[in-house]
């Protein structure tokens, strides 16, 4: 019996361990591969806690199965008493003390790692980028005054200091490969940092329910060489801001071609080519019987409106075919 039991427990352990290896990596229960020192430290804590929980899971489930097998009725009559067991003081002391020890180890490890996660390495001069969470897009302001929407560009291997703010409701900035979450809260400025250790694109998502289009509030960080980053913030970002606003902000609700989605179809709407009227509605938002539009553009500059206007005129606005509208 004892041999059967221990070989069963061993089989369960092996099965779990192999399942763990098979499921590791993306799509499994492992976090995304860290690409920043703070994410690396979070990853270490994840595996420490995972180790404890996996061991406890195996122990508890193994004992459960063992007890089911060992104390089954074996055809005994319902009125007959089963085997009688009595309390075990030492066992009870052990299962009280061991969880306390485990919690102490986890708490100790967390407080030991916390400074490495929260605080950027000091000596380096960080690049400061302001992250603004909006219903329903992310906006990034670079040190040279340029701006991008949805996609942040950073130089590889350099410390990036993020000032995280929100003009409307609470959002949560989170690029898992580049560290933990940080909330974007109206009326205050939060700070976090990362240092992308390799080039590539790292994906993330607003992690705080912020309204109907929370789910589409994706963000990505592109890590590239310093010269590519410089080219991006001095040339590419300013030149493409109109297109970025369209695809990152307007198209989310109104469709990629303005054909309509959650928001109404706007491709034929002459408002698109009336700069001051459009600017008023985008800046202030509105609430009407047909629905509401958030003030998506309340922090945009005149140059950005002009760039959006030019883009709309050139690529989105399609005059309604003659005779297609009725008295409208």
Binding footprint of ligand CUA on the chain (CB under 6 A): 133, 171, 206, 208-210, 214, 217
Interior/surface letters 60-77, b for 16+ CB within 10 angstroms, e for the rest: eebeeebeeeeeeeeeee
**To the nearest whole angstrom, how small is the minimum distance from the Cβ of residue 232 to ligand CUA?**
24
**To the nearest whole angstrom, how small is the minimum distance from the Cβ of residue 264 to ligand CUA?**
22
Q: In this structure, what token pair is assigned to residue 47?
A: 């595996």
Between CA 115 and CA 50 the distance in angstroms is: 21
Judged by beta carbon, residue 184 or residue 233, the one nearer ligand CUA is 184
**To the nearest whole angstrom, how small is the minimum distance from the Cβ of residue 165 to ligand CUA?**
13
**To the nearest whole angstrom, how small is the minimum distance from the Cβ of residue 209 to ligand CUA?**
6
Judged by beta carbon, residue 106 or residue 218, the one nearer ligand CUA is 218
**To the nearest whole angstrom, how small is the minimum distance from the Cβ of residue 233 to ligand CUA?**
24
Residue the block writes with tokens 């897009």: 137
If phi over 0 gives left and psi between -120 and 50 gives alpha, with beta otherwise, what is residue 285? left
Judged by beta carbon, residue 58 or residue 181, the one nearer ligand CUA is 181
Between CA 76 and CA 318 the distance in angstroms is: 83
Judged by beta carbon, residue 61 or residue 298, the one nearer ligand CUA is 298
Between CA 164 and CA 171 the distance in angstroms is: 10
Q: In this structure, what token pair is assigned to residue 255?
A: 């469709």
Judged by beta carbon, residue 183 or residue 240, the one nearer ligand CUA is 183
Burial class (CB in 10 A: 0-12, 13-18, 19+), 91: exposed
Judged by beta carbon, residue 14 or residue 209, the one nearer ligand CUA is 209
What is the distance in angstroms between the CA of the first residue and the CA of the last residue of the chain? 85
* 8 Å CB contact between 147 and 137: no
Judged by beta carbon, residue 33 or residue 261, the one nearer ligand CUA is 261
Between CA 1 and CA 5 the distance in angstroms is: 6
Q: In this structure, what token pair is assigned to residue 220?
A: 């990505």
**To the nearest whole angstrom, how small is the minimum distance from the Cβ of residue 152 to ligand CUA?**
15
**To the nearest whole angstrom, how small is the minimum distance from the Cβ of residue 207 to ligand CUA?**
7
Angle ∠(122,185,289) on CA atoms, nearest 5: 150
């Amino acid at each position: 019996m004892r041999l059967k039991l221990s070989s069963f427990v061993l089989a369960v352990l092996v099965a779990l361990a192999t399942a763990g290896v098979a499921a590791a990596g993306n799509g499994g229960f492992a976090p995304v591969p860290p690409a920043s020192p703070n994410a690396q430290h979070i990853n270490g804590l994840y595996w420490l806690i995972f180790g404890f929980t996996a061991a406890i899971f195996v122990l508890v489930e193994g004992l459960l199965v063992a007890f089911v097998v060992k104390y089954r009725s074996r055809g005994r009559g319902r009125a007959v008493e089963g085997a009688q067991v009595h309390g075990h003081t030492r066992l009870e002391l052990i299962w009280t003390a061991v969880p306390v020890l485990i919690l102490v180890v986890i708490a100790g490890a967390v407080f030991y790692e916390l400074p490495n996660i929260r605080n950027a390495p000091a000596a380096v001069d960080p690049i400061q980028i302001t992250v603004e969470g909006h219903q329903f897009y992310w906006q990034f302001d670079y040190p040279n005054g340029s701006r991008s929407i949805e996609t942040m560009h950073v130089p590889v291997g350099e410390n990036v200091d993020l000032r995280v703010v929100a003009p409307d409701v609470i959002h949560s900035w989170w690029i898992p490969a580049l560290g933990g979450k940080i909330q974007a809260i109206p009326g205050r400025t939060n700070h976090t940092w990362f240092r992308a250790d390799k080039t590539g694109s790292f994906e993330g998502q607003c992690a705080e329910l912020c309204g109907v289009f929370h789910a589409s509030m994706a963000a990505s960080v592109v890590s590239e060489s310093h010269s590519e980053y410089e080219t991006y913030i001095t040339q590419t970002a300013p030149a493409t801001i109109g297109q970025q606003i369209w695809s990152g902000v307007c198209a989310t609700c109104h469709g990629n071609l303005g054909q309509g989605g959650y928001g109404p179809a706007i491709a034929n709407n002459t408002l698109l080519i009336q700069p001051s009227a459009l600017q008023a509605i985008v800046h202030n938002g509105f609430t009407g019987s047909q629905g509401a539009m958030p003030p998506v553009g309340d922090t945009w500059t005149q140059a950005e409106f002009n760039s959006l206007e030019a883009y709309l005129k050139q690529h989105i606005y399609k005059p309604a075919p003659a005779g297609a509208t009725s008295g409208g």
